[in-house]
Structure 1
């Protein structure tokens, strides 16, 4: 077998873990998580098998959008710690073989950012053109990202008598990427954090970042916004050759390909596969693998040095916007029938375990898929122990509750009174008295132990991260079977979306199959298909032995 140096492609077989410092662990008892608390829990992440830590915004903020309304792109929110404490987290992570990426939120600022405060003070402000202004809103404007809160994307500024564009909340004015000063500033922001030891960025809302539709004479100012994204990628790679841009691009596949840089690449390193995620939930709802198989078949061929990121849950609503209305209603009926569980008419504000009524078979099936599908698995904090949501919290914040470490007060997150926490701790059957790290750490049957073992197997199965995928005919609508091949190695991954047991027949060339999760061997017949039994919601990871 050929030995290939893939060190520059570390992200292809990474395990990414997303967390919000504010809700992870409070070390000083003030009610908010902090970098010192995160430092105390680095070993939890290392033991789990995390190799890339993704930090949600930790910058100074006006607190109107959970940290995404930033007032200083170079700062650290003093309530969370200091630059020195952040650097200590980076050092501890590096000591454990863990890289760190951070959110790059440069499609807008807070309206309290000094740039915008200057821009709205006068039409002659040097920062005026850092934002997008119009005397009158243009006809046919796009819908706001938060249609339940905003009725459009233009807001009148009384002092200067012009409207400014805000694709998100009105407190988040959009930056004008056609302005070369803005483009240069974004590069400086990236350079600053790279110099501190960051390994890349999760780029927020990339299509909004590059959207110039609201700018008058935009094509004259910036003919091709994608050329700018290519410039940013090149700049980043000059500063740090192994760094990545992980983009949030929730678009159809063909449109996503453009953000990779087309067939030649050179723009985003990775993108979240929103299309496969949504079809996966439709498959869960129907107990039929075919919707997910359709998505995998529809994936475009990626340029060299590009990769999909796979996720079961992220920090926003579980969007279903790429499904048809009928398909979306199927998923709603299966996993969020109460309107209070739905958001914006397009998504669910729930975590997976309550959605499947805590069924451990379905939970483990979902996470087996997360690590078996072609792409890089991404976990959201608390998934490793099966945390639930708190629907008493408004909007998408229902899934951003404090991490549950112990069965004690505030789930071991903080010693402060509950009213001082950034969000209420989840209550009921998914509260910390039932779901916490301490109880699961030494329980061999816990979800935490299962995920540790699954991640260890994933990390020693090189074909999954780097291999070429091949969909196999399983002969059963409920079953997804695919192979991952790399050099002479091949693994076969089989998942049953149905509640009924099934016998899968696969024609494979080799001597036997080694079950990577149990260590058992299944001899292959000299002729005809191999019969692989699967329990209801069962799955198997099988190495094909030549």
Structure 2
């Protein structure tokens, strides 16, 4: 089985917002097919598709009502098969989202499950008696409120860690697990190249589902994140399904440390290829959680990334990303989306593509798309954002106070339509888009990027080419320089006689860098930089705001 998933570059497509081929305001599969040549030009090897299965869309497709069918708005199974063929023709692989911690309440399993306590599907979900007038325990949902919903029909509650319409599946039930594996094989036999597994480390809950006495943060989290049987289930999944195909697997695993993370990806344990860790994504979250936005420090950024590199090296593999469909835009969060948008977008790309691990590009990142700030909550579509907004209104906050953190951390920042050109709706649709386009699309769009040889797009393209040319960029060991510096992020990478030096100024100030003597004495060749560089490397170098350079030596 190949290591193509280590050497490849992944491009994440959020289908609803990518490209609309039929004018209904919603991106679709035919739209993705029409843009495959654009992705080929960028140079990516793998597309990760957010969920395209049949769904009532309570949580934008993460509530699946039929795992064997395609969401009406996105097209048909024939469209999907065409997409798979056309991608494969261009040497691009496709991985699908696998959402099996929960289903939709409109899935036939749940429709049956709620009919009666002795229904054969009853045990496919997690049902419990209430405590008098109260829920079975004090756990809270990711989307606000209790994680339990009362069902009058059988006088019991079902567990939903996410929306009310997303009941949790009961992995203790062997028949359920067999159904999941059967479905996975069905897609793999169709020719897909792997899975990104949604909150896969939540599938095992602690016996007895106890109250969470600590009551800090998300109540109940410690009783289902990395639960008691999760590794047993993943090893079974690997035995029954994953090991039989040459595929890529990446697990979304909130609440893991490198020690726990290693259990999921250790080659000897036969579970997953890699995971997404969220420690970096929590770097600007205060004590109050996600919406309590605090400033982040570069020293923490470096410490987190290096800790994960050290924690998984030789045993497993890292994924490297700075944004996705659930996170704000990287240039708005970690860069400077005003005066230095282009420079800082290139700087962040330099980091993603020269660190060890598989790089993930989220759609629009390669043209430097930014966060959005809609004037009214009415323009937002994300269930998490809307629920939290209403909860804060009830607590007496003003709309202005609530919108501020939403501008910084809301999931819709990533979900505004892809900006293709400067025509109406950024060329995304001829209809009315399901969510408004970011008003800066006239400035920031693909057409403009392709016409400008110094654009963020071509910088990404070159980084991807370098990664294919130099194995050191994929496999090299990392050695950090200037660890305590709050402005400079620098490291060397070494592999089989190849060496690179990465220097990045994560600030809007000019900074002098003193290059270690032994590096100066090497013959340095610049591979890429986001400013014009005329001279060879001296012992002292002035770095411009958000400047990045990569040298080979």
TM-score, L = length of structure 2: 0.81
1:38 aligned onto 2:40:
no
Picking from 295, 304, 314, the partner of 2:324 is 314
Q: Answer yes or no: is the 8 Å Cα contact 2:65–2:106 preserved in 1.
A: yes
Counterparts of 1:425 and 1:71, CA distance in 2: 29
Q: Answer yes or no: is the 8 Å Cα contact 1:514–1:520 preserved in 2.
A: no
**Which residue number in structure 2 is paired with residue 85 of structure 1?**
79
1:399 aligned onto 2:414:
yes
Q: Answer yes or no: is the 8 Å Cα contact 2:21–2:30 preserved in 1.
A: yes
Instruction: Report how far residue 541 of structure 1 moved.
Output: 0.7
1:434 aligned onto 2:446:
no
Q: How big is the alpha-carbon RMSD for the aligned residues of Structure 1 and Structure 2?
A: 3.1
**Which residue number in structure 1 is paired with residue 120 of structure 2?**
126
Question: The residue matched to 1:79 in structure 2 has which SS?
Answer: helix
**Which residue number in structure 2 is paired with residue 159 of structure 1?**
153
Question: The residue matched to 1:195 in structure 2 has which SS?
Answer: helix
Q: Answer yes or no: is the 8 Å Cα contact 1:118–1:125 preserved in 2.
A: yes
Picking from 142, 161, 176, the partner of 2:139 is 142
Q: Answer yes or no: is the 8 Å Cα contact 2:141–2:161 preserved in 1.
A: yes
Q: Structure 1: which 5+ residue stretches go unaligned?
A: 1-6, 319-334, 336-347
Picking from 491, 503, 514, the partner of 1:504 is 514
Instruction: Report how far residue 258 of structure 1 moved.
Output: 5.1
Question: The residue matched to 2:69 in structure 1 has which SS?
Answer: coil
Counterparts of 1:350 and 1:454, CA distance in 2: 21
Task: State how 1:38-437 maps to structure 2 within 5 Å.
Answer: 38-136=32-130, 141-147=138-144, 151-213=145-207, 224-241=229-246, 243-254=247-258, 256-257=260-261, 259-260=263-264, 264-279=268-283, 289-299=298-308, 300-302=310-312, 304=314, 306-318=316-328, 359-392=341-374, 393-394=380-381, 395=385, 396-416=411-431, 418=432, 421-427=433-439, 430=440, 432-437=441-446
Instruction: Report how far residue 486 of structure 1 moved.
Output: 1.5
Instruction: Report how far residue 363 of structure 1 moved.
Output: 2.3
Q: Answer yes or no: is the 8 Å Cα contact 1:356–1:362 preserved in 2.
A: no
**Which residue number in structure 2 is paired with residue 513 of structure 1?**
524
Instruction: Report how far residue 354 of structure 1 moved.
Output: 7.1
CA displacement, residues 253-307 of structure 1 (integer Å, 9 cap, x when unaligned): 245425425584422211123224544999xx97963212221342253275631
Counterparts of 1:366 and 1:223, CA distance in 2: 37
Q: Answer yes or no: is the 8 Å Cα contact 1:280–1:292 preserved in 2.
A: no
Greater mean alpha carbon deviation, residues 399-408 or residues 360-369: 360-369
Picking from 472, 478, 497, the partner of 1:488 is 497
Q: Answer yes or no: is the 8 Å Cα contact 1:59–1:74 preserved in 2.
A: yes
Aligned length: 492
CA displacement, residues 311-331 of structure 1 (integer Å, 9 cap, x when unaligned): 12111145xxxxxxxxxxxxx
Instruction: Report how far residue 33 of structure 1 moved.
Output: 1.7
Counterparts of 2:26 and 2:273, CA distance in 1: 33
Q: Structure 2: which 5+ residue stretches go unaligned?
A: 211-222, 287-293, 375-379, 386-410
Q: Answer yes or no: is the 8 Å Cα contact 2:100–2:180 preserved in 1.
A: yes
29 and 378 in structure 1: CA distance in 2 versus 1, 3 angstrom threshold: same
Instruction: Report how far residue 521 of structure 1 moved.
Output: 9.4
41 and 380 in structure 1: CA distance in 2 versus 1, 3 angstrom threshold: same
Counterparts of 2:338 and 2:254, CA distance in 1: 25
Counterparts of 2:514 and 2:90, CA distance in 1: 41
Q: Answer yes or no: is the 8 Å Cα contact 1:317–1:350 preserved in 2.
A: no
14 and 352 in structure 1: CA distance in 2 versus 1, 3 angstrom threshold: same
293 and 354 in structure 1: CA distance in 2 versus 1, 3 angstrom threshold: closer
467 and 235 in structure 1: CA distance in 2 versus 1, 3 angstrom threshold: farther
CA displacement, residues 62-88 of structure 1 (integer Å, 9 cap, x when unaligned): 111111111001111132122222122
508 and 29 in structure 1: CA distance in 2 versus 1, 3 angstrom threshold: same
CA displacement, residues 363-411 of structure 1 (integer Å, 9 cap, x when unaligned): 2222211112222111111111122334332422342122111211221
Counterparts of 2:535 and 2:207, CA distance in 1: 58
507 and 12 in structure 1: CA distance in 2 versus 1, 3 angstrom threshold: farther
**Which residue number in structure 1 is paired with residue 392 of structure 2?**
none
Instruction: Report how far residue 12 of structure 1 moved.
Output: 1.4
407 and 156 in structure 1: CA distance in 2 versus 1, 3 angstrom threshold: same
Q: Answer yes or no: is the 8 Å Cα contact 2:284–2:296 preserved in 1.
A: no
Question: The residue matched to 1:502 in structure 2 has which SS?
Answer: strand
Instruction: Report how far residue 495 of structure 1 moved.
Output: 1.4
Instruction: Report how far residue 61 of structure 1 moved.
Output: 0.4
**Which residue number in structure 2 is paired with residue 331 of structure 1?**
none
515 and 413 in structure 1: CA distance in 2 versus 1, 3 angstrom threshold: same
Instruction: Report how far residue 104 of structure 1 moved.
Output: 0.3
13 and 423 in structure 1: CA distance in 2 versus 1, 3 angstrom threshold: same
Question: The residue matched to 1:110 in structure 2 has which SS?
Answer: coil
Counterparts of 1:162 and 1:409, CA distance in 2: 50
Greater mean alpha carbon deviation, residues 364-373 or residues 107-116: 364-373
Instruction: Report how far residue 232 of structure 1 moved.
Output: 1.3
Q: Answer yes or no: is the 8 Å Cα contact 1:389–1:398 preserved in 2.
A: yes
Q: Answer yes or no: is the 8 Å Cα contact 1:166–1:172 preserved in 2.
A: yes
